[in-house]
Amino acid sequence: MKTINITETISFGGRSLPLIAGPCVIENRDHSLRMASQIKTITEKLSIPFIFKSSFDKANRTSVSSFRGPGIDEGLRILADVKSELNIPIITDIHLSVQAHAIAEVADIIQIPAFLCRQTDLLIVAGNTGKPVNIKKGQFLSPWKVKHIVEKIESTGNKQIIITERGNTFGFDNLITDMRSIPIMQDETGYPVVFDGTHSAQMPGNTEDFTGGLRKYIPVMVKAAVAAGCNGIFLEVHDDVKNAKSDSATQWPLKQLENLLLQAKRIHEAVTNNG
């Protein structure tokens, strides 16, 4: 499996289990800095590599009236402050090809949203930045089809690719995660696979104007994914989940993050030491 180096100390595909984490959407500058700082304190205590994630625009909200974020200009300024003031690498989503240059100036990893994972032009422009690209596997896609997405990015000469598993559509209002997807995508593509524990817990009900979820099952899925050999964990984390402005049903409470990471780390060490 390829090793994807993000910084001198953070890589995917090696023996470590990096964490991609942060609020679903940038709510304001102070909140982003506070969340990044508090997550960094936890991950440093546990010696877990940490990359801060937050979106400047949630372009795929269920309702037109839902909060989308501060937009690209203000959002990237906030992410740049997190990066420079706290010395934390950054990952954020790209939605439009024209955003690639500006995002690449700030982000250490460019993320392709799940709903856009087959958009050829978006994949090509992300690959052409030369930045590592994290592909969120669409919930409509089998793990075997991901190799075609990878080939689109590789066509640019960029082979710094990460794949993230986030569950598959099951009926109208549920997701289910097949843990076989992790080794299948690793074997089929040769690239590391991250597990998204929070989006995998969503229940995108078709009768509501928001996306629900089953937060209490996130630890079960995270531990199962680590046991299945994932190369990193993705978690949306918030310090006040009930009042989070996006995905309030599935963001993981900050106060419970350390315990979950400690359990995941112990499983990872057992798997790695016996692999």
Largest CA distance in the chain: 50
User: What does the angle CA 46 – CA 47 – CA 53 come to, to the nearest 5 degrees?
Assistant: 90
pLDDT in tens, 16-43: 999 999 999 999 999 999 999 999 999 9
Q: E strands of 138-231, at which residues? A: 161-165, 168-169, 175-176, 193-196, 202-203, 212-213
Interatomic CA distance for residues 247 and 198, integer angstroms: 9
CA distances from 135 to 62, 73, 164 (A): 21, 23, 6
Nearest to 199 by CA among 130, 137, 151: 137
pLDDT in tens, 43-88: 999 999 999 999 999 777 566 667 788 999 999 999 999 999 999 9
User: What does the angle CA 98 – CA 104 – CA 110 come to, to the nearest 5 degrees?
Assistant: 90
**Mean pLDDT score of the chain, rounded to an integer?**
94
* Long-range contacts, 206-209 (Cβ 8 Å, 24+): 206/172, 206/173, 207/173, 208/62, 209/62, 209/63, 209/65, 209/66
- Give, to the nearest 10 degrees, the angle between helix 120-128 and helix 146-154: 40
- Looking at the chain, the whole-number percentage of residues with pLDDT higher than 70 is 95
Q: What is the 3-state secondary structure (H, E, C) of 15-71?
A: CCCCEEEECCECCCHHHHHHHHHHHHHHHHHHCCCEEEECECCCCCCCCCCCCCCCC
Residue 59: per-residue pLDDT: 73
pTM recorded for the entire structure: 0.95
Residue 137: what are its φ and ψ, rounded to 5°?
Answer: -65, 125
pLDDT at 157 over 70: yes
Interatomic CA distance for residues 239 and 256, integer angstroms: 10
Residue 234: per-residue pLDDT: 98
Across the range 211-216, mean pLDDT stands at 85
Interatomic CA distance for residues 173 and 270, integer angstroms: 35
Place of tokens 């982003």: 32
Cβ(211)–Cβ(202) under 8 Å? yes
Interatomic CA distance for residues 90 and 71, integer angstroms: 16
Cβ(224)–Cβ(3) under 8 Å? no
Q: What domains does the chain contain, in order, with CATH numbers?
A: 16-273 (3.20.20.70)
pLDDT at 145 over 70: yes
Residue 66: per-residue pLDDT: 73
Interatomic CA distance for residues 123 and 217, integer angstroms: 32
Interatomic CA distance for residues 13 and 192, integer angstroms: 5
Tokens of 94: 């790209």
Neighbours of 243 (CB within 10 A): 9
Residue 173: per-residue pLDDT: 80
